[in-house]
Structure 1
Amino acid sequence: MNLTKKRWVTLIACCLINLCLGSIYVWSVFASSMAEFLSARNGVVLTTADLAIVYTIANSVGPITMITGGWFNDKFGPKKVILIGGIMVGIGMIASGFATSVGALVVTYGLIFGLGLGMTYGTAVSSCMKFFPDKRGLIGGITTAIYGLGSVILPPVVTLIVSKSSAAVAFKVVGVAFLIIICGCSFLMEQCPADFVPDGWTLPAATESSGVENKNWKEMLKTPVFYVMLLLFTCGAFSGMMVISQASAVATNMVGMTALMASTAVSILAVFNAAGRILAGFLSDRIGRINTLTIATVLGVCGLLLLYFTGQGGYATFYVGIACIGVSFGSFMGVYPGFTADQFGAKNNSVNYGIMFIGLAAAGYFGPSAMRNIYMTDGAYARAFLIAVACGAAGFVLTFVYRFLAKKK
């Protein structure tokens, strides 16, 4: 089988891997049951808030291994990197099932699982995209969308296991499954030759990806456009990370939804998030990455304004608002892997995108923190939405700063 055909096998393997990695969005299902288990075992009262540090650390450490794992991937190929990352993901989950304290969960889930996730996710996406220079935006959208769909597909499975046993058992069962799937898929991953060109395709004479010099991370950090892209990623992802973190609470406290309606809102957000990744990736191959991101910033601001003006019983505006935010956030997630490769070359994209991912990590920290702190202070979310609108507006301006720098270059 030649590489043009075999690359589709790589894409399928990448999608299966990312579906498993999307389990990080299922933390809330584990957390409540695990809090009860640890409270009963240790004779202290623990809530999901006491376990929040575990999830925060798991999200925060990812860029570390995205960067280091990306370096090994660019040098030696994805098989070994994903194998090691898959072992860390599986062992981290299994070990979490044996945890008897919050501190132990920080180590097993926060550090081992979180570091394994960053290594595996970054390597899988970057490796897959190298095989698709003709469909870079679409493939970035598909692979990241599958990661997001983990938040739709996996919660019912984990909830069923938890209801029949406990979170400890669920950790072990899911961990074994992930260990088998990810490590098995690692053997299907191939290293893309530097000169690979798909059959029947030639590089267009003038596109965003033509004539791009392959820069390593040191050379990338010397370019002003990198810092514009990093800030744009943070501004564009801020609203999504903020709303995703507390979508259910916002639906209940601000709109007055029932638990069932709130869960529907979370599902709508997840579905539009995933759809936005594929749609924006496909669109960016046709109208350009930066044009797609400009549209995404406008869509995000519109969604935030709808939420700002939503009151008790405003179900329709709330659903439309979170759908807009979901598509906007998904657009940034789907477009940025290809956007980074277009700008700095595909050769070192594993490391370069890992560094660029710091922009998302910053949004993942500041967005939820702003939402939580403002609600604790004001007893309402309105000011948080306005701050996110300001970030979105800044992102819109940054898209034109990028155009100025790109044109100057």
Structure 2
Amino acid sequence: LITGKLASVLIPSVGLPTTFAYFGIAFGIILVILSLPFRFPAAGWAPTGWKPAAGSVAAADFTPGEMVKTGTFWGLFLCFLIGSIAGLMAIGISKPAGNEIIKISGETAATLVGVFAIFNALGRPLFGFLTDKITPRNAAILNLVIILIVSLIMIIAREGDTGLYTISFIGFWLCLGGWLAIAPTATATFFGMKNYARNYGVVFCSYGLGAIVGGIISGQAKDVFGTYTVAFYPTAVLAVVGLVLTVALLKTPKKA
């Protein structure tokens, strides 16, 4: 909502490389300032009267090496990858898919992308709340079911189906934001807090991989088949695969 509009002003006036340089400097300054109040709490600290929810505390702490040997890790990694592929692909083609498939104007598509971004932000607290309440496993199942439904909607969407397009892309953007809440919580829940920073660093690699694969899927769909509609078949299939993986693998691991 903010950086996109700033970029649209800066790029024509100063060029792409300089725009990135400005953003890098600004983000560096902001992050340093915001990090100054951070302090590590004393070992074992917890808020007065706080009790962890059932199943929210890992039975054992895993190192990254131990973590990657578990089926739980691969279930989480692959499901996060699937959510990232679907979400990041949708972000990349939100506007052109609306123009091509639904035949909405560029101005309308741009406005709707701003709306989608709001739901992407809302996905984080919403799925963070759900992950705490119904466990990471059930939150992942819900997220993947939504991805499956909105993929199928976009497969059948045709010219003039602005409502279907809007609902679908709200779902994609919401679910991508949701995985950025599910994955870190699941990492802590399944593998403990002692090595959390290193463990989540490994899990988060799936997000970067998802950006690459999602871009390839959307680009190839358009180049080979001439339409973005084909891009939603893989996301539907991947959502089903993710549901199977979640049910089979996303459970509390046993430490060897």
Q: Provide the residue aligned with 1:406 in structure 2.
A: 252
Give CA-to-partner distance per residue, 1:192-231, whole Å, 9 cap, x none: 3331212221335xx2223521111011112121111111
Alpha-carbon offset, residue 179 of structure 1: 2.9
Distance in 2, matches of 1:213 and 1:280, equals 25
> Given that residues 275 and 330 in structure 1 are in contact (C-alpha distance below 8 angstroms), is that contact kept between their aligned partners in structure 2?
yes
Q: Secondary structure at the match of 1:374?
A: helix
Is the aligned partner of 1:269 residue 2:116? yes
> Given that residues 120 and 176 in structure 2 are in contact (C-alpha distance below 8 angstroms), is that contact kept between their aligned partners in structure 1?
yes
Among candidates 124, 145, 166, match of residue 319 of structure 1: 166
Alpha-carbon offset, residue 165 of structure 1: 4.7
Q: Provide the residue aligned with 2:189 in structure 1.
A: 342
Larger mean CA deviation between 189-198 and 250-259 belongs to 189-198
Q: Secondary structure at the match of 1:299?
A: helix
Distance in 1, matches of 2:229 and 2:16, equals 35
Distance in 2, matches of 1:382 and 1:211, equals 42
> Given that residues 194 and 347 in structure 1 are in contact (C-alpha distance below 8 angstroms), is that contact kept between their aligned partners in structure 2?
no
Task: Provide closer, same or farther for how the CA distance between residues 342 and 407 of structure 1 changes in structure 2, counting only shifts above 3 A.
Answer: closer
AA matched with 1:319: T
Is the aligned partner of 1:329 residue 2:147? no
Distance in 2, matches of 1:168 and 1:364, equals 21
Q: Provide the residue aligned with 2:7 in structure 1.
A: 158
Is the aligned partner of 1:281 residue 2:118? no
1:119-134 equivalences in 2 (<5 Å): none
> Given that residues 147 and 235 in structure 2 are in contact (C-alpha distance below 8 angstroms), is that contact kept between their aligned partners in structure 1?
no
Identity of aligned residues (%): 26
Structure 2 gaps of 5+ residues are none
AA matched with 1:306: I
Distance in 1, matches of 2:25 and 2:217, equals 36
> Given that residues 89 and 218 in structure 2 are in contact (C-alpha distance below 8 angstroms), is that contact kept between their aligned partners in structure 1?
yes
Distance in 2, matches of 1:158 and 1:223, equals 43
Alpha-carbon offset, residue 236 of structure 1: 2.5
Distance in 1, matches of 2:222 and 2:15, equals 32
Distance in 2, matches of 1:359 and 1:165, equals 34
Among candidates 31, 36, 53, match of residue 187 of structure 1: 36
Distance in 2, matches of 1:400 and 1:172, equals 44
Structure 1 gaps of 5+ residues are 1-151
Q: Secondary structure at the match of 2:206?
A: helix
Q: Which has the higher contact order (CA 8 A, sep 6+)?
A: 2
Give CA-to-partner distance per residue, 1:289-344, whole Å, 9 cap, x none: 11111111111111111111111221111001111112222211211111101100
Task: Provide closer, same or farther for how the CA distance between residues 216 and 263 of structure 1 changes in structure 2, counting only shifts above 3 A.
Answer: same
Alpha-carbon offset, residue 233 of structure 1: 1.2
Pairs aligned (count): 255
Measured on the aligned residues, the alpha-carbon RMSD in Å equals 2.1
Give CA-to-partner distance per residue, 1:323-373, whole Å, 9 cap, x none: 111222221121111110110001111111111112222221111101101
Task: Provide closer, same or farther for how the CA distance between residues 234 and 179 of structure 1 changes in structure 2, counting only shifts above 3 A.
Answer: closer
> Given that residues 90 and 173 in structure 2 are in contact (C-alpha distance below 8 angstroms), is that contact kept between their aligned partners in structure 1?
no
Q: Provide the residue aligned with 1:132 in structure 2.
A: none
Alpha-carbon offset, residue 234 of structure 1: 1.4
Is the aligned partner of 1:250 residue 2:97? yes
